[in-house]
Amino acid sequence: MALLDAETEHRTQGGPGLPQQRRLVTDLPGPRSAAILARKADAVPAGVGHTVPVAAVAAGGGVVVDADGNSLIDLGSGIAVTTVGNAHPKIAAAVAAQAAQFTHTCFMISPYESYIEVAEALNRLTPGDFAKKSALFNSGAEAVENAIKIARKHTGRQGVVAFDHGYHGRTNLTMALTAKSMPYKSGFGPFAPEVYRAPMSYPFRDGLTGPDAAERAISQMEKQIGAGNLAAIIIEPIQGEGGFIVPADGFLPALADWCRANGVVFIADEVQTGFARTGHMFASEIFGVVPDLITTAKGIAGGLPLAAVTGRAEIMDASHAGGLGGTYGGNPIACAAALAAIDVFENDGVIERAQQIGTILTERLTAMQSQDPRIGDVRGHGAMIAAEFVDPETNAPDAALTAAVAQAAIAQGVIVLTCGTYGNVIRFLPPLSIGDDLLIEGLDVVAEALAAA
């Protein structure tokens, strides 16, 4: 089976051919990492934090190797980026070849074919059976900013709605769109105007059906803003940083219908959910929703910085010539990486692998939940699954427990990430090149950490 071949290939030759094992030869950080992190503290501002106290020197398959030779199981993919696997051989080869050919011309100065090929692939792969166009940028936040620019230009309106628990970036406009104050916004204002917040569907905490949650949001938008003042609503089909919140069925389609009826652009922020992560090429497909615009980044290029806005041609074409761009947007090396990654997504059984990983994650975590009521909820799709930790008596979020479990797992050589408005969610975002054995070992370590906490 192509999938097994691909998996074997990643595990034996993938990345720098690293042994696929968890192996700690020092406490973390070891002396070499500790020395590098001490230099970080001197040279890099405190505002730039880090989760795992090691200095990485290599990564591939399902592991990250540090400067002391410790090999850690990677259940985070650098926040959902290395979906095809770190240093994937096809991506490494494409990057090297492009770097030897030309590194930059600026697409706005001398265009090149690979950018256009990436745009064509995005137009083809994203949901929606209509004419589409794509523009390329460098980061998720930059894609979101441009999606809002395009929606405003198209509608001639200014208002934008984002949702409770939403995350869209750290630039000024995207900070305004992001819900959570600490650590993303606190003290960094004033924020961009004409950004409004609507209530999200959060089935574990609000108990509402999708249509009821949509009605609540729509009523608030109509009363507090007025549809005629709204350029766009932007929403993550499954919220990432906000806690892997999966909206109730019917929520997203009802919002999309309302947008269509009112001339509001429906933007799906698929920066975290896109490119096979959820066991579908795009998470919008899970909910049967066809966005007008989609923002993508992260998994698109196997670790190279690239982002995109894709959407209905007539909306994408609203901007005057020269209105969109940037020096590096669609950099040729990043485009070469994206074309290699898209080849892997389409041909190497990656979507099926995300579904298999999702089954393992869900089975293991729900088994843990049945033994331990401090796991209040297990949710997500494909290789994007999370556990929400609570006080079993009250369902109140338990951030302290969550942090303790995550830190203990990391100390044992398993990279896990937390998230959530209340900081009480551990999210699992393994690279799809991880083997079942490492994934299960990583989950066993998390289970031990929870039992000990």
Contact residues for ligand PLZ, defined by CB under 6 A: 79, 139-141, 144, 167-170, 236, 240-241, 269, 271-272, 297
Q: In angstroms, what is the minimal distance from the CB of 181 to ligand PLZ?
A: 14
Q: Taking the complex as a whole, how short is the minimal distance between the CB of residue 382 and ligand PLZ, in angstroms?
A: 16
Q: How far is the CB of 242 from ligand PLZ (least distance, A)?
A: 9
Looking at the chain, how many residues does it have? 453
Shortest distance in whole angstroms from residue 189 CB to ligand PLZ: 17
- Region of 166 (left: φ > 0; alpha: ψ -120 to 50; beta: rest) is beta
Residue 163: CB minimum distance to ligand PLZ, A: 11
Between 212 and 285, name the residue whose CB sits nearer to ligand PLZ. Answer: 285
**Complex with ligand PLZ: residue 157 or 168, whichever CB lies closer:** 168
Nearer to ligand PLZ, 47 or 156 (CB): 47
202: which residues sit within 8 A by CB, 6+ positions away?
164, 165, 245, 247
The residue number with the shortest CB distance to ligand PLZ is 140
Return the structure tokens found at 184: 């993303």
How many Cα atoms are found within 13 Å in the side-chain-facing hemisphere of 144? 29
d(CA 136, CA 142): 9
- Nearer residue to ligand PLZ within complex by CB, 390 or 415: 415
Helix, strand, coil: what percent of the chain each, to 5?
40, 15, 40
Least distance from ligand PLZ to the Cβ atom of residue 296, Å: 9
Which C-beta is closer to ligand PLZ: that of 24 or that of 403?
403
Q: Which of 20, 13, 21, 18 is nearest to 90 (CA)?
A: 13
Give the distance from CA 251 to its chain's centroid.
Answer: 21
**CB of 136: closest distance to ligand PLZ in angstroms?**
13
* Integer Cα distance of 226 and 277 in angstroms: 35
Cβ-based neighbour number of residue 101 at 10 Å:
12
Task: Quote the CA–CA distance of 272 and 253 in Å, as a whole number.
Answer: 20
CB nearer ligand PLZ, residue 175 or residue 390: 175
Contact residues for 250 (Cβ-Cβ < 8 A; gap 6+): 209, 210, 211, 214
H or E stretch covering 377: strand 375-381
Beta sheet of 293-296, edge-to-edge order: 132-137, 307-312, 293-296, 265-269, 230-235, 159-163, 195-198
Nearest CA to 290 out of 319, 268, 320, 275 is that of 268
Report, in Å, the least distance between residue 7 CB and ligand PLZ: 26
The helix (H) or strand (E) run that includes residue 2 is: helix 2-12
Min dist CB 146 to ligand PLZ, Å, is 12
Nearer to ligand PLZ, 67 or 255 (CB): 255
Of 22 and 197, the one with the shorter C-beta distance to ligand PLZ is 197
Nearest distance, CB of residue 57 and ligand PLZ, angstroms: 22
> Is 14 or 237 the residue whose CB approaches ligand PLZ more closely?
237
Q: How many CB atoms lie within 10 A of CB 362?
A: 17
**Least CB distance from residue 148 to ligand PLZ, whole Å?**
12
Min CB(417)–ligand PLZ separation in Å: 9
C-beta closer to ligand PLZ: residue 240 or 420: 240
Q: Please state, in angstroms and rounded to a whole number, the distance separating the CA atoms of residues 312 and 127.
A: 11
What does the DSSP assignment read for 270-295? -TTTTTTTTSSSSGGGGGT---SEEE
Structure-token match 């590096």, residue found: 328
Is the Cβ of residue 70 or residue 139 nearer to ligand PLZ in the bound state?
139
Distance between CA atoms of 326 and 328, rounded to whole angstroms? 6
DSSP 135: E
178 close to 163: Cβ distance less than 8 angstroms = no
- Nearer to ligand PLZ by C-beta: 11 or 168? 168
